[in-house]
Amino acid sequence: MGSLQLFHSFSVSVSPATNLRRPLNKGRVSACLNVDVEAPNPLKMKSGGSKEVIEEEGKVLVGTYARAPVVLSRGKGCKLYDPEGREFLDCAAGIAVNALGHGDPDWVRAVTEQANVLGHVSNAYYSIPQVELAKRLVANSFADRVFFSNSGTEANEAAIKFSRKFQRFTHPDDAQPATGFISFTNSFHGRTLGALALTSKEHYRSPFEPVMPGVTFLEYGNIQTAKDLIQQRKIAAVFVEPIQGEGGIYSAKKEFLQALRKACDDAGCLLVFDEVQCGLGRTGYLWAHEEYGVYPDIMTLAKPLAGGLPIGATLVTERVASAVAHGDHGSTFAGSPLVCSAAIAVLDKIANPSFLSSVSKKGHYFKELLIKKLGGNAHVKEVRGLGLLIGIELDASASPLVDACRNSGLIVLTAGQGNVVRLVPPLIISEKELEHAADILDECLPALDSN
């Protein structure tokens, strides 16, 4: 039970003999009544069974999602459940978001305690959790400063603006400072117009053109073409994912990132690492670029940072931050006390070296297990990835296999051109659960034959 305050106002007359010069509150008095009310119960708020929910969704929501025909109503650890009680092993983690699984006690405690204190104040004021989270991100990365937003695409929009502002700031006498961008094949940077312009898949962009101009797409991994274009000094920034998630789980080679770093330094161009999906422990490193020993000027984060609450972060060096002034960018909701408290709980747990070591160990075990179980199948072309960011490339559409897995109690995703099974489970997943996932994938492979 909780306490609810009810206010009732009524008018009173004020005698001329009173000492008041004028009636307070225009002669209105407010009375406060405390009553006990029952807190909302999410289980009582559900509409009904899965069939009813799916039917109702079709009547009230814009049809932007080709959803799988399953309703997920609760979760615990690495397990999800529908309203009828069916259990699913979650190897999607809300698209690499739920790094600590579902209902992590430290995360729940951080959220509930902060919700009882202060949820939102806007960025017109200072708030303690936002500063504490920024301090932790700076202490654990290359960066000197942080800008918070609400999603990965917003983090990349901030990086776009900061890159162009940096070029104007550092070249004040140039009539045409560098404004162009380089992105790469198979890239995905978001769905808002700026980030969308950096996303290579044409079918994402074409319905909304013209998008932001000035973007050149180059082959991922092609050093020479990138160097040639960067040397023309018309590029404000190069955007690259150290490991491409949506694009098909492709890892950059060290030589490629090293060459980009040197070319950008030589030309005064910024290097932006998009680690929205591959960052924050997913690869067994806190940041994916740590494996390569190459560091960016800007890094964008989002998905797992707040454990399921909406957040984005754009991490920058002092050199970049010095170009950004009051009013250059902003957000109403970004960096709220509630979300930042959740993110502190997530970051503190994942940044622990023993936690990262466990991710690396489990990722290696899972990848080897998948190669052993699936590698001999004619449909399986390659099993690749790092840590718990793994892709299984097929010679056909992955959809029949994904559907069969779901019907057998395993949730996985697609990637690439739809021919890659993407496995991004919660980072807390056990080896026993990974074995169960591999068994289901193996058992469901015949679905590709029938297709």
Domain residue limits, the chain: 50-85, 105-351, 354-448
SS3 68: coil
For the chain, how many helices (H) and strands (E)?
A: 16, 19
**Mean predicted lDDT score pLDDT of the chain:** 92
* Third-level CATH fold of 354-448: Aspartate Aminotransferase, domain 1 (3.90.1150)
Band (1; pLDDT cuts 50, 70, 90): very low
Per-residue model confidence (pLDDT) at position 48 = 76
Residue 10 pLDDT exceeds 60: no
Residue 13 pLDDT exceeds 60: no
Q: Rounded mean pLDDT of 394-409?
A: 98
Residues 330 and 148: their CA atoms lie apart, in Å, by 9
**What is the CATH architecture assignment of 105-351?**
3-Layer(aba) Sandwich (3.40)
Residues 237 and 212: their CA atoms lie apart, in Å, by 14
Q: Rounded mean pLDDT of 118-125?
A: 97
pLDDT in tens, 58-108: 999 999 999 999 999 999 999 999 999 999 999 999 999 999 999 999 999
Task: Answer yes or no: same fold for 105-351 and 354-448.
Answer: no
Work out the number of other CB atoms within 10 angstroms of the CB of residue 354. 6
Contact assessment for residue 126 and residue 308, using Cβ atoms and an 8 Å cutoff: no
Residue 4 pLDDT exceeds 60: no
Band (7; pLDDT cuts 50, 70, 90): very low
pTM: 0.89
Instruction: Give which of 348, 343, 370 is closest to 425, Cα–Cα.
Output: 370
Residue 221 pLDDT exceeds 50: yes
| Block residue for tokens 């002669």 | 27
Amino acid at 362: K
Contact assessment for residue 155 and residue 314, using Cβ atoms and an 8 Å cutoff: yes
Per-residue model confidence (pLDDT) at position 450 = 79
